[in-house]
Amino acid sequence: MTLLALTGGVGGAKLALGFAKVLPPEDVVFVVNTGDDFEHLGLHISPDVDTITYTLAEVANPIAGWGRKDETWRFMDALERFGGETWFRLGDADLALHLHRRTLLNAGKSLTAATNEIAGRLGVEHTILPMSDDPVRTRVLTSDGSLAFQHYFVRDRCAPKAVGFEFAGAETASVNPAIPFESVTAIVICPSNPFVSVDPILAVDGMRDALLATGAPIVAVSPIVGGRAIKGPTAKMMRELGVRTTTVAVAEHYAGLVSHFVIDEVDARAEAAVAALGMGTTALQTVMTTLDDRVQLARSVLEFIR
Ligand code: FO1
């Protein structure tokens, strides 16, 4: 089997690690959101690519979910003394990754090649593919105007009211040509934020059609459990957009693309409403606290697909 797993930030990376534990590298490819990428301090920061890279390399900060564990912050402290920009925290070891990626990109390598090189050096055997090598930049439309994603997310801590999203460049970006659509037997949309982690992937010109043309089941795992987001601002965004903060509303968001939808056991009563959308559904234990939870959910999702 070739599983294509679409993933964004921290929540998605948890299930991705589960898949990496139960599937050999030739059986799964991770397609990652790059709408969060930005140029900062002369560097190319690719937060979601780095989150999955660090997660699969098992060097991720387990509390924050992003960045590295056992990180030190001398660079940030020194930058602060110069009055530099410190709202986006780059740890010392993380900085080395960004500098190395800058070097690779300056040498003419694609983001895919740079990602592959960096992941390999960190011992990751599974394939991590940015959704596109072309720039796509998420902008959050707020009641105070349009904000670049990291300004909204990190600098302003998601405080402005979100009224919509734009994925600048998506309509002219090409789908990553390394994605093996022809051999895909199943697609999983990991429990990432539908609006700012998954939608940018789906917005890349031709991505939706390419996914549907595989004829493979497309299985989404709900990031909303019991009316709440496990992590991050998904529920807040849904409220601000006037969408119900329910797992059924997430299923409705994916209607027309997704054939199967995994809900959490606590939402088992929603099975009928999801089925009414024409989706196959199952209720699983989707909250991933431990490594065992990630492996177990990956196994259960694979079982559901089979
Ligand atoms: N998230 C934060 O909330 N604060 C930070 O200072 C921060 C720094 C950071 C540095 C490198 C990196 O790869 C990710 C970082 N993130 C930070 C996380 C990231 O910006 C978001 O979690 C994602 O973009 C959302 O998926």
Identify which of 111, 152, 154 to mutate to test ligand 1's pocket (most ligand atoms within 8 A of the CB).
Answer: 154
Checking if the pLDDT of 159 tops 90, the result is yes
Q: What is the model's pTM? A: 0.96
Residue type, 150: Q
- Atom of ligand 1 minimally distant from the CA of 150: 20
Cα 24 from chain centre = 21
**Spatial contact of 248 and 274, defined as CB atoms under 8 Å apart:** yes
- Atom of ligand 1 minimally distant from the CA of 33: 26
Tell me the mean pLDDT in the region 29-45: 98
In whole angstroms, what is the distance from residue 162 CA to residue 164 CA?
Answer: 6
- Helices in 62-206 by DSSP H: which ranges? 74-81, 92-106, 111-121, 149-150, 199-203
- Helices in the chain by DSSP H: which ranges? 10-22, 47-56, 74-81, 92-106, 111-121, 149-150, 199-203, 207-213, 234-240, 247-253, 271-275, 291-305
Checking if the pLDDT of 1 tops 90, the result is no
pLDDT value at residue 230:
80
In whole angstroms, what is the distance from residue 27 CA to residue 46 CA?
Answer: 25
In whole angstroms, what is the distance from residue 249 CA to residue 92 CA?
Answer: 41
pLDDT value at residue 231:
79
**Band of pLDDT at residue 216, cut at 50, 70 and 90:** very high
pLDDT value at residue 117:
98
Which residues surround ligand 1 with Cβ inside 6 Å?
A: 8-9, 36, 45, 47-48, 50, 66-67, 88-90, 94, 150, 153-154
**pLDDT tens, residue by residue, 120-156:** 999 999 999 999 999 999 999 998 899 999 999 999 9
pLDDT value at residue 27:
97
pLDDT value at residue 267:
96
Checking if the pLDDT of 87 tops 90, the result is yes
Hey, whose CA ends up nearest to atom 2 of ligand 1? 154
Tell me the mean pLDDT in the region 247-274: 97
**pLDDT tens, residue by residue, 176-198:** 999 999 999 999 999 999 999 99
Hey, whose CA ends up nearest to atom 4 of ligand 1? 154
Hey, whose CA ends up nearest to atom 20 of ligand 1? 47
Percent of the chain with pLDDT over 90: 95
